[in-house]
Amino acid sequence: MTRGTVGPPAFAPEPTTTQQRIQRTTKRGKAVPRTKLGGGLAAAALLALTATAGAGQAAHAAPAGPDLTHPGPRLDGDGEIDGNGECTYPMKKQIKGTPWALQRLVLDQLWRDTKGRDPQGRPVRVAVIDSGVDNDNPQLKSAVDASSGMDYLPADKSDQPPPQDTGEADAKDEKDQKGKKEKQQPPPPPPPPRDGTDDTVGHGTKVAGIIAARPNPGTGFVGLAPEAQIIPLKQSDDKGNGTPQTMAQAIHKAVEEGAKVINISQDTVGARPSVVLEAAVRYALDHDVVVVAAAGNDGADGKSKRTYPASIPGVLAVAASDRNNERAYFSQSGDFVGVAAPGVEMVSTVPKYGQCVDNGTSFSTPYVAGLAALIRAKHPDWKQHQVVAQIEQTAERGVNGRDRYVGWGVVDPVRAMTEDDHPIDKPTAGTAHRDIAAPAAQPLIIGETPQQRRERYATYALGGVIATAAVITGTTLVARDGRRRRARRDVP
């Protein structure tokens, strides 16, 4: 077990280019890039989002938001799940230790002012657009607002109850059944909820946990903003049912439900984004919502490429970092990367019960979204771009500026929550620290200084030692001389 590993569950291997990028072939013979969940090999379900909006769509896009009335094209075939299956759920036991990504934080300082509630006591609302958020997990039960959630995927016919028996039977059936005991069939299970709380993949449940999981006895894991509120918006699954239109609908729903932060742990590998999706993101930004998205896991080849929605201007794109604050080898690089955050061996909640360990920019993104929720709770008057600038400016940098691997650096949540005396509109190159007031001058001391006092005390102590030694020596000499005089008188 490597140093800092937090418990028994094995974690899936880190994302690789082959595992995380799959292309399908359409009937026309063209390779169509598929979008996918941004990370997490144990449950990295590939979606069927396609970046296929053309110039005609751009011309008809409404200024206030995209036209969401027409469904987008669908890809042939089912989606696929990568991973070794080790991250199962529900887990039988919880992970007891504190994850390394939380060990690096002084939580008392981080939560000194807020844990996700604004000055009026209202929880900051964070929309998780993903595979759903299972609120049966005890750490998420009170965190998820199911009444505001939505499932944008088509209902699965296999989940529908079978046709009801009319009670009519022909004479032959009655004769065949005569004298036989009828077997009682259990009632069909109810269809899954359509409020975004059905997560068969587990991906969205992990994402939500990193943002707002509540403390629970028996585990050291907790969300970064444990009093924030999650809006569950299910837009992806393991069957390739998502489209740019459903993601755009989810973004609009998040804005309508009062989300202050939107987390999108998904990315596409298309050459350009869907116009509908881009318009939806702009709609959210114009309504003062912080949009945080995963940079992607296709970075093992070292080549820079744009992913969406992370590359859309105004979105805070998040790369993954490791324990050494270096870019995780799989993390996608590019000039669109805003910051990096822990994305290796990340502990979080799974459906029903317990926690699991996974890897990917999918889990770096909610780390940043949780921080954004804390800043919005403490500073409700700050604009969305100022929240982003605060996160970027206070990040720990390896260079005096921005690079294509970790952007402005690895996020430092404690610094972002303490070096915040005023908002800024954009980060600046150079020092990674915000300007801090110079320390107050020490008061002028009339008389001896503390150093002089210490030296005086040392002199007294030395003098005392010398005086004591002299007394002992004198006493010894007197005693010796007295014995000599008595000896001479006793001589006959």
The residues annotated with a catalytic role in the active site are 130, 203, 362
Angstrom CA distances, 275 to 189, 245, 266, 424, 451, stand at: 40, 10, 17, 30, 70
Helix (H, G, I), strand (E, B) or coil at 14: coil
- CA 345 – CA 10 distance, rounded (Å): 9
The helix-helix angle for 275-286 and 244-256 (nearest 10°) equals 10
Give which of 230, 223, 157, 228 is closest to 196, Cα–Cα. Answer: 230
How many Å separate Cα 90 from the centre of its chain? Answer: 21
Torsion of CA 8, 13, 15, 17, to 10 degrees: 180
Which tokens hold the place of 329? 């080898």
Rounded-to-integer distance, Cα 251 and Cα 256, Å:
9
Query: C-alpha 202: how far from its chain's center?
Result: 15
Tokens 């008188």 correspond to: 489
The H helix count followed by the E strand count for the chain is 12, 15
